[in-house]
């Protein structure tokens, strides 16, 4: 049983590395072709960034594999021998906090390297070490409060019910819905400032667009994203009263009024099509599959791991191995998301016009130095947005 799990994780790691390798080779070749959508200097820079990011991804996959082996071949048993409380729930919570702390520390160098080396080298990073540390403290604080509460509840459910995986699924699905609801109003403001749009002419235009679409929100929100990263973005988030379109300050600075309206229209398309609800449902299906699998792990596996089968070790296995299940789902998620993006583009371009949205997309690619081409298998797995050339083609945009 244990050998099978290790073999599955090894195959998963190899597939990921293979896809990254294909992408690196593809971009390395495309890099030398005639530049599109950006000048030669930016085109090569974008290619080099895509390659460097993928190399980091490979290193991270290898470390993940090593960590799974460490946990499987004695790590989990060692941690369990260190954590011994009378109460199952307290034991499981402390065990999982220890487990997550190790994962966090292993991932931290990657996080630091990406922000202060890679992103800094390519001119994206604006995060100061001080801000980075503050962010880390806030994230850890949030995790200690909410993560512990979630772990403790799951541990209680696993410990108390034979059919725990069904209740566990419903609980986690509830958590996902709740997070989506409170994200814009409660979680995001912990990390960023959100200010109303100052440009009256633009905000009036947006206001009237929202009315036409039937989108009720407390205005337009500008996020001070530039304090961490110079790349441009916008998103639609929140459920019910908390729903809103957020524009990054970097986007507002670089796009013309018409282009901004087109991007805003695209985001309103996500609202109009109920994309967030559909996404949450899809996450629900994934959660259900994960709980159904991990709710029925044989005792033999825990014997082979040298640990007691209890809520702590079950939760640790879910965290360690659910990525494999998610990875199988990823092409479906990506395909679904790419279709939503086409539909949102269509909606946005009809609300404003095709040319403005096309112009905005070209500017985004150039400013964000996102390489406009990718290997088909890489797109199949990871692209939540269609390749920009196909989006532009759909908008009948002339790229020359």
Angle of CA points 249, 252, 257, to nearest 5°:
165
CB closer to Zn ion out of 165 and 347 = 347
Least distance in Å: CB of 339 to Zn ion?
11
283-322 residues near Zn ion, rule: CB under 5 A: none
Binding to Zn ion (CB under 5 A) within 180-239 occurs at: none
Burial class (CB in 10 A: 0-12, 13-18, 19+), 170: middle
User: Would strands 221-223 and 244-248 be described as parallel, antiparallel, or unpaired?
Assistant: parallel
| The one segment of 60-68, 319-327, 342-350, 357-365 that binds Zn ion by CB under 5 A | 342-350
Written as six digits, the tokens of 292 are 């159904």
Closest to Zn ion by CB, 45 vs 231, is 231
Report the run of H or E that residue 320 belongs to, with start and end: helix 311-351
Residues sharing a CB contact under 8 Å with residue 71, sequence separation 6 or more, in sequence order: 99, 316, 320
Residue with tokens 């993006």: 341
Q: How far is the CB of 234 from Zn ion (least distance, A)?
A: 8
Of 318 and 344, which has the nearer Cβ to Zn ion?
344
Residue placing its CB nearer to Zn ion in the complex, 341 or 367: 341
Among the listed ranges 72-80, 186-194, 245-253, 336-344, the one in contact with Zn ion (CB under 5 A) is 336-344
Number of H helices, E strands in the chain: 18, 4
Piece of the chain touching Zn ion by CB under 5 A; list 125-133, 135-143, 334-342, 372-380: 334-342
Taking the complex as a whole, how short is the minimal distance between the CB of residue 266 and Zn ion, in angstroms? 6
Of 74-82, 101-109, 224-232, 341-349, which segment contacts Zn ion by CB under 5 A? 341-349
Beta bridge partners of 195: 222
By C-beta, is 271 or 291 nearer to Zn ion?
271
**How many residues are listed for the chain in this entry?**
400
Cα 132 → chain centroid: 19
Closest CA to 199 of 140, 147, 264, 133: 264
In whole angstroms, the minimum distance from the beta carbon of 341 to Zn ion comes to 5
Q: Which stretch binds Zn ion (CB under 5 A): 164-172, 244-252, 339-347, 348-356?
A: 339-347
Query: Whole-number minimum distance, CB 351 to Zn ion, in Å?
Result: 14
* Smallest separation (angstroms) from Zn ion to the CB of 310: 43
Sheet of 194-196: strand order equals 194-196, 221-223, 244-248, 234-237
Beta bridge partners of 196: 221
Distance, in Å, from the CA atom of 314 to the CA atom of 302, rounded to the nearest integer, reads 9
Query: What part of residues 62-81 is at the interface with Zn ion (CB under 5 A)?
Result: none
Q: Minimum distance from CB of 267 to Zn ion (Å)?
A: 7
The interface region with Zn ion, picked from 151-159, 167-175, 316-324, 335-343 by CB under 5 A, is 335-343
Of the pair 261, 307, the CB lying nearest Zn ion is at: 261
Half-sphere exposure in the Cβ direction for 88 (13 Å, CA): 16
Q: Which is nearer to Zn ion, 235 or 329 (CB)?
A: 235
| Residues in contact with 335: Cβ distance below 8 Å, sequence separation at least 6, in sequence order | 380
Judge whether 9 and 46 are in contact, CB under 8 Å: no
**Which range touches Zn ion (CB under 5 A), out of 102-110, 307-315, 343-351, 353-361?**
343-351
Q: Minimum distance between the CB of residue 188 and Zn ion, rounded to whole angstroms?
A: 18
Q: Considering the complex, state which of residue 95 and residue 271 has its C-beta at the smaller distance from Zn ion.
A: 271
For residues 101 and 4, what is the distance between their CA atoms, to the nearest angstrom? 27
Of 294, 300, 299, the closest CA to residue 314 belongs to: 294
Q: Whose Cβ is closer to Zn ion: residue 369's or residue 385's? A: 385
Closest separation in Å from C-beta 394 to Zn ion: 13
The site that binds Zn ion (CB under 5 A) totals a number of residues, namely: 2
Residue located via tokens 């390798």: 21
Using alpha carbons only, give the angle 301, 13, 286 rounded to the nearest 5 degrees. 70
Q: Report, in Å, the least distance between residue 260 CB and Zn ion.
A: 15
The residue among 92 and 344 lying less far from Zn ion, judged by its C-beta, is: 344
Binding site for Zn ion (CB under 5 A): 341, 344
């Amino acid at each position: 049983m244990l050998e099978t799990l290790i073999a599955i994780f090894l195959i998963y790691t190899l597939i990921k590395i293979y896809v990254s390798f294909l992408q690196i080779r593809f971009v390395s070749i495309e890099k030398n072709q005639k530049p599109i959508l950006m000048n030669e200097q930016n085109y090569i820079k974008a290619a080099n960034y895509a390659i460097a990011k993928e190399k980091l991804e490979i290193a991270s996959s290898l470390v993940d594999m090593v960590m799974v082996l460490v946990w499987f071949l004695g790590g989990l048993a060692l941690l369990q021998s260190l954590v011994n409380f009378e109460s199952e729930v307290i034991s499981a919570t402390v065990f999982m906090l220890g487990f997550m702390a190790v994962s966090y520390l292993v991932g931290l160098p990657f996080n630091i390297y990406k922000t202060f080396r890679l992103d800094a080298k390519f001119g994206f990073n604006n995060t100061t070490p001080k801000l980075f540390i503050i962010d880390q403290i806030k994230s850890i604080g949030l995790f200690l409060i909410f993560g512990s509460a979630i772990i403790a509840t799951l541990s209680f459910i696993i410990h108390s019910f034979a059919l725990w995986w069904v209740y566990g699924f419903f609980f986690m699905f509830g958590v996902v819905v709740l997070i989506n609801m409170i994200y814009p109003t409660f979680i995001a403001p912990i990390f960023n400032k959100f200010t109303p749009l100052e440009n009256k002419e633009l905000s009036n235009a947006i206001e009237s667009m929202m009315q036409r679409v039937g989108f009720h929100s407390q205005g337009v929100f500008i996020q001070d994203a530039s304090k961490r990263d110079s790349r441009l973005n916008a998103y639609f988030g929140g459920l019910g009263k908390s729903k809103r379109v957020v524009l990054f300050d970097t986007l507002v600075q670089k796009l013309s009024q018409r282009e901004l309206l087109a991007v805003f229209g695209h985001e309103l398309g996500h609202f109009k099509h109920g994309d967030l609800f559909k996404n949450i449902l899809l996450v629900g299906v994934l959660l259900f599959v994960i709980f159904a699998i991990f709710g029925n792990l044989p005792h033999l596996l825990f014997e082979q791991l040298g640990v007691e089968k209890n809520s702590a070790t079950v939760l640790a296995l879910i965290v360690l191995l659910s990525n494999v299940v998610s990875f199988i789902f990823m092409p479906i998620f990506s395909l679904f998301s790419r279709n939503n993006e086409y539909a949102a583009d269509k909606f946005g371009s009809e609300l404003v016009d095709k040319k403005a949205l096309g112009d905005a997309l070209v500017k985004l690619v150039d400013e964000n130095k996102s390489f406009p081409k990718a290997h088909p298998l890489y797109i199949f797995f990871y692209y939540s947005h269609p390749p920009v050339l196909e989006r532009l083609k759909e908008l009948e945009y002339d790229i020359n």
